[in-house]
Structures are given as structure tokens and as C-alpha cells.
Amino acid sequence: MNINWYPGHMKKTIENIESKLKLVDFYIEIIDSRIPISSRNPLLNKVLENKKGLLILNKSDLSEDEQNRKWTDKLSDEHKHVILYNSSKPNGNLIVRESLDLMKDEIEKAKSKGINKGPLRAMIVGIPNSGKSTFINGISKTKSTKTGNRPGITKTDQWIRINPKLHLLDTPGVLWPKFEDEETALNLAFTGAIKDEIMDVETLCLKLIKKLNSIDKNILENRYNISIEGKEPIEIMEEIGAKRGAKLKGNEIDYTKVSNIVLDEFRKGILGKITLERL
């Protein structure tokens, strides 16, 4: 399944991020805890390699608790500050506290020279639909940025004042032009980082069904009250369609409707807490 989506504004966003790094003290990278590797943009890693950063494992309410702990431990080996986070339960004090801790050496160095650094300034980066806008709105307690469960909501960068100690520069979500492998591309598509409008959602759903069954056969059986033993993904899709009444004239299965049901219920956590990239 060939998946690619790299609008022109994404190239400009990377260039813009690079040009504005001098305006910030550090960065906050928002990644999806369901896909902690696939949701990290390698172009951003290269651009940000000389800056300190907080890594936010966002959407922790949608991923498995045990996997969350394992990923936090693993990524903490590579990053000084990794925070497991649920943007639907914002904790601005935690973010400010971790930011001050991350930058304590720089703050002390400035203080020793009689310089008051003023508020810390951080750049928010991440892929589309990683939850950046929800994260910012939650900790700033405003509707500073538009939000939505689809990629491409934030179109321009903007400054947001969190409190006297922390200001944030929001940037649009950005992907990269060539994915390393099909698994990375599929993980991004499953979680909604790539617009469904450019996807073959029926094939994507079949791939998701196969992936979910490899993790736990009970996920689909329990949700849709079906038996999947010995069945191919297309047969499972048909079973779900029959249960949900997703049919066309002539009693044929409406595969597009079934696909949208399964993808939507996975993305919203209705199928349960599921981590696609596992340790």
C-alpha cells in the first residue's frame, strides 16, 4: 500500500522552524504514545539536534499502561525529560516545572551574570494530529489554537503565553517526504496523521484489522461480538458490517462505511487502549 502525503506547506514549515530556533530556549516535541517511533519526524530530529527538549508522550489515555511505562523508560535513556501525558487532563504546572528543570543550568548561568532571562520560550513541534493544539489549549486554559481530530488544523506559527514563566511558539504539524517503510506509513495513517481523503480507507481498514488481530484477537471480537478465528480480514470486515447494519441496496456490505466505523473507533479509543508500536 503506497502512502505518501507531503504538501508544500510542510517543506516551508521545516524551513520556518529552522529559521526561528534562535528565538526559543528549547523545544517541546509532542508524539503519539500509540506510535512513539513512527510519530517522530526525522527531519525535526535533525533540525533540533542542538537544542534541549521535552518529549511529550501524548494521548497516553489511548495507549496501554504497561507499554506507556516501557516507552517512557526507553525514551528516557535518550532524552533527559520524557513526560507521559494526556491532553484531555491538562497539567500546566507539570509542564512549567519540567521546563524550568530542563533549563535550570542556563537560568543559573544567566543569574550569575546578573541577567534576568524572563519567561522561558519554547517551540512546540510534532506531526499532524499529534494533539499539539489540544495540549496548548489545555495548559494555557484558552482556545488559543484551533483543534480537531484530523491533520492540518494549525496552519501558521503563533505565540501563546502560558504563565509569566513560560511562553510557547506553536508551529504547524509536519510530516516528511519519504517514509522509511510501509509500517511507519500505516501507523501514521491508522492514527489519523495522514488525511483519510487521500487514502484508500477500505485497504487501510483491512491492514488495521490484521494489525489489531496480531496484538490481541479479543479486541475486535469483544467490541463487535463476532468470532474471528480462522477468518481473513475481509471476512472480519463483512462480519462487522453485518453486525452494524452497514449495507447497501441488495444487502451488500458497505465496505467504506465499515472502514470508517473501525478506523474512527480505534482513533477515539472505543476499541480500548491499544499501542501499535510495542516493546
Number of neighbouring beta carbons within 10 Å of residue 5: 20
Amino acid 15: pLDDT: 83
User: Residue 155 pLDDT more than 50?
Assistant: no
* Between 264 and 79, residue with greater pLDDT: 264
Distances (CA, A) of 16 to 32, 124, 134, 157, 168: 23, 13, 22, 9, 15
Q: Which CATH number fits domain 8-170: 1.10.3720.10, 3.40.50.300, 2.60.120.260, 2.60.40.1890?
A: 3.40.50.300
The predicted-structure confidence for 215-251, as pLDDT tens digits, reads as follows 999 999 999 999 999 999 999 999 999 999 999 988 8
The reply, when asked if residue 87 is annotated as ligand binding, is: yes
For the chain, the first-to-last Cα distance in angstroms comes to: 25
User: Residue 159 pLDDT more than 90?
Assistant: no
Amino acid 235: pLDDT: 96
Q: Taking the domains of the chain in order of start, what are their residue ranges?
A: 8-170, 200-267
User: Residue 148 pLDDT more than 80?
Assistant: no
The reply, when asked if residue 129 is annotated as ligand binding, is: yes
Number of neighbouring beta carbons within 10 Å of residue 251: 7
Region 181-187 average pLDDT? 91
Please state the pTM of the whole predicted model: 0.86
* Between 45 and 29, residue with greater pLDDT: 29
Amino acid 133: pLDDT: 87
C-alpha–C-alpha distance, residues 62 and 43, integer Å: 26
The reply, when asked if residue 131 is annotated as ligand binding, is: yes
Instruction: Say what angle helices 201-215 and 255-267 make with each other, to 10 degrees.
Output: 50
Region 66-78 average pLDDT? 89
200-267: CATH topology is: Conserved Hypothetical Protein Ylqf; Chain: A; domain 2 (1.10.1580)
User: Residue 149 pLDDT more than 60?
Assistant: no
The reply, when asked if residue 173 is annotated as ligand binding, is: yes
The DSSP-derived string for 140-195 is HTS--S---SSS----S-EEEEEETTEEEEE------SS-SSHHHHHHHHHTTSS-
pLDDT band at 179 (very low <50, low <70, confident <90, very high): confident
The reply, when asked if residue 134 is annotated as ligand binding, is: yes
The predicted-structure confidence for 94-146, as pLDDT tens digits, reads as follows 999 999 999 999 999 999 988 888 899 999 999 989 999 899 989 887 654 44
pLDDT band at 196 (very low <50, low <70, confident <90, very high): confident
The reply, when asked if residue 61 is annotated as ligand binding, is: yes
Residue 62: which of 32, 38, 82 has the closest Cα?
32
Burial of 226 (0-12, 13-18, 19+ CB in 10 A): middle
Number of neighbouring beta carbons within 10 Å of residue 245: 8
The reply, when asked if residue 132 is annotated as ligand binding, is: yes
The reply, when asked if residue 16 is annotated as ligand binding, is: no
The predicted-structure confidence for 28-40, as pLDDT tens digits, reads as follows 999 999 999 999 9
Mean pLDDT of the chain: 88
